[in-house]
A = this chain, B = another copy of it.
Amino acid sequence: MNAEIIAIGTELLLGQVVNTNATFLSKELATLGIEVYHQSVVGDNPKRLKEAIELAEKRSELVILTGGLGPTKDDVTKQVVAEHLGKELVIDEAAMKKIRLFHKQRKHPMTENNQLQALIIEGSVVLKNNNGLAVGMFLNLENQSFLLLPGPPHELEKMFEQEVKPLLLKQTSKETVLLSRVLRFYGIGESRLVTLIDDLIENQLNPTLASYTGKYEVSLRLTANGSSNTECEKKLDNLEAIIRERAGDYIYGYGDDNSLVEVVSKLIKEKKLTLSAAESLTGGAFQSMLTSTSGASEFFEGGLVTYSNRIKEEQLNVDRKIIDQFGVVSSQCAIKMAENVRQLFNSDIGISFTGVAGPLELENKKPGTVWIGIAVKNKETYAKCFNFEGDRNKNRELSVLSGLHLIYRDLLD
């Protein structure tokens, strides 16, 4: 099967938004063995959208449209597709119910526009949107299929994974089982990882192999097909073993949604430990990340944000002499912060962050210079220095992830 992707949105043509949807879909379609020969973008303009559809259906079996399913006047995708196919728009009761409930719960008045989001093209399979109100649609006609997906990436990606993939598999399958496994990496860039497994990617056939880069984490998705689950599992095991030989040190887990914080939280809970934190340059970002997953209260009770030197002294009892002698961007300060927050909050693990977020230098140290201290009950406290060399927020975010990774390595030992 071949497919083409039409992204709809004037904001794309104005350069205000990057067309990551086309990238995501192309990658996903490749792993399903569906060839993409064209991507295009048109604005919120019925005439040009119609022309794009007419062109696409001449050359592609599956036409995928993203965007333009929202509640505003600019959103015209399903109207144009319906008119082009000579079909009616009808109300999807389940979608309407969800929209009503949404507005009722928020005590927002529901406008007529909002109701537009419940309209679907007659005869289409409705694709549920678990991250928003606009439903997707799949229309399987005689020689042609149409797929209408929402524009916001977090809505589109979830919908593709949960609703579209099974449908497309049914269309393309030749009685085979398709099984995917996602390996997650931290501490290695995508380009370096890809270089390490260059030959595997080059010669991929079954399993196929695709890399995805999160903000700072990298994932590899291995997809095998075969006649049974067992056969697929075996193929995945074999490929994973080869990858582990080359880059196993950077693997921290499995699964699409399995972030570093989830893996580390699970590990701390399994070991029945508790943790507290004292943050300077990260300003609360580490504790915020910890508490972003539910169940954090099992091992986390609280901590301090000690942004200034005064607060490090007054609230965290860091000796003035340490700050005067070594500075706050020092192993000595990081160690004291980690030890003191552990004692003060009476936890098993204390972690501290102190360093230079940037853009300015601090204590003659470059932005990105960060000390992370780890104090564990009945173990020797230590601190590790990182040099991230990013901008302010990258330095802060990498500090948080590196802190998680330090705890991960520490608890595995």
Contacts and interface: CB of A to CB of B under 8 A. Distances in A.
A141 interface: no
A201 interface: yes
Contacts of A71: 191
B297 A111 contact: no
A41 B29 CA distance: 16
Interface string A3-43: 00000001111111111101111111110000011111111
Interface in A275-305: 277, 279, 281-288, 290-292, 294, 296-297, 300-305
B37 A73 contact: no
B38 A41 contact: yes
Contacts of A192: 108, 111
A157 interface: no
A354 B314 CA distance: 25
Interface in A181-212: 189-192, 194-195, 198, 201-202, 210-212
A63 B4 CA distance: 21
A172 B122 CA distance: 46
A412 interface: no
Contact count band on A? 35 or more
A212 B74 CA distance: 12
A407 interface: no
A344 B357 contact: no
Interface stretch (A89-97, A161-169, A369-377, A389-397): A389-397
Contact of A111 (B42, B191, B287): B191
Contacts of A292: 283, 392-393, 396
A144 interface: no
Nearest to A27: B15
Contact of A26 (B13, B45, B282, B305): B13
Contacts of A393: 292
Contacts of A357: 291, 294
A27 B192 CA distance: 31
A403 interface: no
A272 interface: no
Nearest to A26: B15
A18 B12 contact: no
Nearest to A345: B311
Nearest to A195: B111
Interface in A83-127: 105-106, 108, 111, 113-114
A106 B389 contact: yes
Given A284-B291, A308-B297, A27 B16 contact: yes
A113 B196 CA distance: 12
A283 B311 CA distance: 19
B297 A307 contact: yes
A150 interface: no
A310 interface: yes
A350 interface: no
Q: Which of A55, A315, A389, A396 gathers the greatest number of chain B CB atoms within 10 Å?
A: A315
A41 B39 contact: yes
8 contacts: A15-B27, A18-B20, A19-B22, A70-B191, A284-B291, A296-B307, A302-B306, A303-B305
Interface of A: 10-20, 22-30, 36-43, 45, 48, 55, 70-73, 105-106, 108, 111, 113-114, 189-192, 194-195, 198, 201-202, 210-212, 277, 279, 281-288, 290-292, 294, 296-297, 300-308, 310-311, 315, 344-345, 357-360, 389, 392-393, 396
